[in-house]
A and B are shown apart, each in its own frame.
Chain A
Amino acid sequence: MKRPLLIALILIGAATAASAAAGLALQKPENETEEGFSGVYDVTADGSIAVVSFTEGRPGIYLLDEEAASSGPLAESGTDSRINSLSFSPDGRSIAFTVSPKDPAAGGLKSIIRLLDLESGTERAVFQDKGLITELTFSPDDPDLIYFLRAGVFENYSPVAAQHPHDFDVHEYRLSENNTRPLTDLKAYDMQSLDVPAGSDSVYFSMFGDEEYESAEETFDATQQIYRIPEEGGTPEPAGDGYPRDVYGFAIIPDGGAIYQAVSKTSDEGIFEYELFRSDSGQGNGRQLTRMRTHAGNPVLSPDGKTLWFVEDRNFGKERPDFHLYRMPADGGTPEALFPAE
């Protein structure tokens, strides 16, 4: 073998060995790699914002001040868990949040609803469940009542698809009685965007409306739509006469209609671009509110319906999300970036 070739091969081998050693020294367990805003947040009636943010993989709840800056975490959880959802109580004095394992396949299917008292800074577990609680919200009219979406299983529907929560139903939990009650009996494939508007007697959520389809071909025509059930539970019925496309996240407008998240178009890279639309009639034909050209979602409306908060994932379709919180007028305007600071 030629000497220069031998030297080149030795150098490549040395560089590979050094790189592998650097990799071993610098790599972190998957649980400790998440950093920054998780995309989970809630807003009080007076506009106070609480967000869930990761620090070296630990999820924590932070309150944002008027400049949208955060101080230390009010509550934290371990690196093997995530805070899926949080909700301010109607008086804004406490926050209910749900904690579950980051990897339910390894950590077991379980969730804990915890209550954080903002005045005393103390927190306590109020309810533990052997399912995956993906979203929760306080009833805006009853500080004793929490609604939540619960998945009964966490599995993959095919060998190459990732595991996801399935068999969803809506439940309610009464704090004073420490009692839960299912409000639906659907075992739905997917459910999201739980919303209970103030003064309403309905609980809203989105899911695939495929129960009326009989054949597999018809199931492909099913779209994700907004449904509502009476607050005491029952059979879901579509909210509005149907939207012209799949509706994922949404926020019900107090006077009717909804601000909803749907696919706007496909990017040059072949990735769906999600935007927020406003439909005052609930009949579809929504007017496009955002033009982020990435992934706008998680809309939250102020009780008077005038202010809209939402989250943009600037890295949507890639391995790691990059969430940013915005505020804008609910009838359209320029979004103002709030968190994290830019």
Chain B
Amino acid sequence: MRPALLRFAREISRRTDGTRMERQDLEEEMAGHLEATFSRLIEEGHTEQEAEELAMSRFGDGKRIGRQIQQALYPYRREMILGLSAGSLLFGFAVFFSVLLTAWSAYIPWLILCSLTGSALLALAVDPPASLNRRFVLNGLFLLQTGVLLSGILLTSAVPGNAGSILAMAGWLLILLAMALVYRTSAYDYRTRRVRLEKHDMAINAANVTTGILSVSISLFILWAYLAFSDGTDRVWMFALIPALFWALTYAAQWLLLAKGRVKTAYGITGLQIAVIAAALALFFRIT
């Protein structure tokens, strides 16, 4: 295989969001096509360098092809990220000026953070860097954006009348979109390398995103309740971390068990996790 053709194919495959194995398959398939074209051009009498350049130029623009493959593999994901980016940027400016012109308060750090996260999402949607742990970076950005949007919703309480309610509703819709993207990224778009475990990987990840949202919410609620009804001088607040820690540990256990092929035990931990969280919620609603 000619190194220049292999590099070209690799660049294209890196522009897709598949697993390392999927990218490697894609890369080999494209390199095979390029090699066949190269051989034909050599037979036609071109020099090796001419044949390489011609094979690549006839294949097409690498970035465009990478984007097209990405769109075919993960339909509407780019549009969803673009929507979240544009919506978040508009939401940021609308909230900033609404609060500024009604309460005369300028939340400049928040606006800058909102613009930075919105811009990062825009850059990732339009021209994602080839070398990036996308699952980690994207999920991190979606969660950060959720935090920024939540704080923006809090700021809308300073805006009187319907304008504040409309802005808050827009913020919640954007959070819904960010959560949908977290589900896609965690459970659907990025899959295990082992085809046999693919559907189990998707099911367990989907369940864990849900239980993760619930567990972190429970932890935050307990922390808020503790701070609201105590003087906050002891370390009892650390108990609030138990639901989130329980979720993180059980998620890690499921992931390790699945990687070792122990599917039933992994599902057992998933069931235990769901049962404990359901019991905690049932207890809470019974008390309240």
Binding site for B on A (CB under 8 A): 1-2, 4-5, 8-9, 12-13, 15-16, 19-20, 22-24, 26-28, 30, 32-33, 158-161, 315, 318-320, 322
Asked if B111 and A19 sit within 8 Å, CB to CB, the answer is yes
CA distance A161 to B62 in the complex (A): 57
State whether B108 touches A23 (Cβ < 8 A).
yes
In the complex, A8→B126 CA distance in Å? 11
Contacting A at CB under 8 A, from B115-162, are 115, 118-119, 122-123, 126-127, 157-158, 160-161
Asked whether, in the complex, the Cβ of B89 is within 8 Å of the Cβ of A158, the reply is: no
Name the contact of A161 in the complex, choosing from B100, B107, B228 (C-beta under 8 A): B228
Q: Which of A15, A23, A24, A32 counts the most B-chain CB atoms under 10 A from its CB?
A: A23
- Say whether A319 contacts B230, CB under 8 Å: no
Q: Are B100 and A158 in contact (CB under 8 A)?
A: no
Interfacial chain A residues near B108, Cβ < 8 Å: 20, 23-24
Q: Assess A8 versus B122: contact at CB under 8 Å? Given A13-B115, A158-B230, A319-B158.
A: yes
Nearest chain B CB to A118 CB, angstrom units: 33
Is B285's CB within 8 Å of the partner chain A? no
Bound CA span A160–B227, Å: 6
Q: Which of A1, A9, A12, A26 contacts B106 (CB 8 A)?
A: A26
Choose from A12, A16, A320 the contact partner of B103 (Cβ within 8 Å): A320
Given the complex, which residues of A lie within 8 Å of B127, measured CB to CB?
1-2, 5
Known: A12-B115, A19-B93, A19-B96. A158 touches B231 (CB 8 A): yes
Collect the chain A residues with CB atoms within 8 Å of residue B224's CB: 160
A129 to chain B, nearest CB (A): 27
Contact B160 A320 (CB under 8 A): yes
Q: Report Cα–Cα, A273/B118, bound state, in Å.
A: 38
Which residues of B (68-126) have their CB < 8 Å from a CB of A?
89, 93, 96-97, 100-108, 111-112, 115, 118-119, 122-123, 126
Whether the Cβ atoms of A9 and B93 lie closer than 8 Å is: no
Residue B284 at the A interface, CB < 8 A? no
- Which residues of B line the A interface, CB within 8 A? 89, 93, 96-97, 100-108, 111-112, 115, 118-119, 122-123, 126-127, 157-158, 160-161, 164, 224, 227-232
Question: Within the assembled complex, what's the spacing in Å between the Cα atoms of A8 and B127?
Answer: 12
Contact status of A160 and B106, CB under 8 A, knowing A2-B126, A20-B112, A23-B100:
no
B158 pairs with A320, CB closer than 8 A: yes
In whole angstroms, how far apart are the Cα atoms of A66 and B241 in the complex? 61
A12 to B116, CA, bound (A): 9
Whether A318 contacts B157 by the Cβ 8 Å rule is yes
**Can you add 6 more A-B contacts, CB < 8 Å, to A12-B115, A26-B101?**
A12-B119, A19-B111, A158-B230, A158-B232, A318-B158, A319-B158
The answer on a CB contact under 8 Å between B122 and A33 is no
Determine the chain A residues whose CB is within 8 A of the CB of B122 once the complex forms: 5, 8-9, 12
Tell me, in angstroms, the Cα distance from A189 to B106 when the chains sit together: 35
Please give me the residue from chain B that is nearest to A5 by CB atom: B126
Interchain CB contact (< 8 A) of B100 among A27, A160, A315: A27
Residues from chain A with Cβ under 8 Å of B119 in the complex: 9, 12-13
Q: Which of A16, A159, A318, A320 contacts B115 (CB 8 A)?
A: A16
**Cross-interface CB contact of A16 among B100, B112, B230, B231, cutoff 8 Å:** B112
Q: B87 to nearest A CB, angstroms?
A: 14
A29 to chain B, nearest CB (A): 9
Whether the pair A23, B231 counts as a contact (CB closer than 8 A) is no
Cα A315 to Cα B119 with chains together (Å): 35
Q: How far is the CB of B173 from chain A (nearest CB, A)?
A: 17
Contact A12 B126 (CB under 8 A): no
User: With A15-B93, A160-B224 in contact, do A23 and B106 touch (Cβ < 8 Å)?
Assistant: yes
B118 — which chain A residues lie within 8 A by C-beta?
12
Q: How far is the CB of B114 from chain A (nearest CB, A)?
A: 9
- Asked, given contacts A158-B231, A159-B227, A161-B228, whether A27 binds B160 with beta carbons under 8 Å apart, the answer is no
Closest to A27 in B: B106
Asked if residues A27 and B104 are in contact (CB atoms below 8 Å), the reply is yes
Q: Which residues of A contact B101 (CB under 8 A)?
A: 26
CB-based nearest B residue for A25: B106
- How far is the CB of A112 from the nearest CB of chain B, in Å? 28
Q: How far is the CA of A1 from the CA of B126 in the complex (A)?
A: 10
Query: What would 20 A/B residue contacts be, using CB atoms closer than 8 Å?
Result: A4-B126, A8-B126, A9-B122, A12-B122, A15-B93, A20-B108, A20-B111, A23-B96, A23-B107, A26-B100, A26-B101, A159-B231, A160-B224, A160-B228, A318-B158, A318-B164, A319-B103, A319-B158, A320-B102, A322-B160
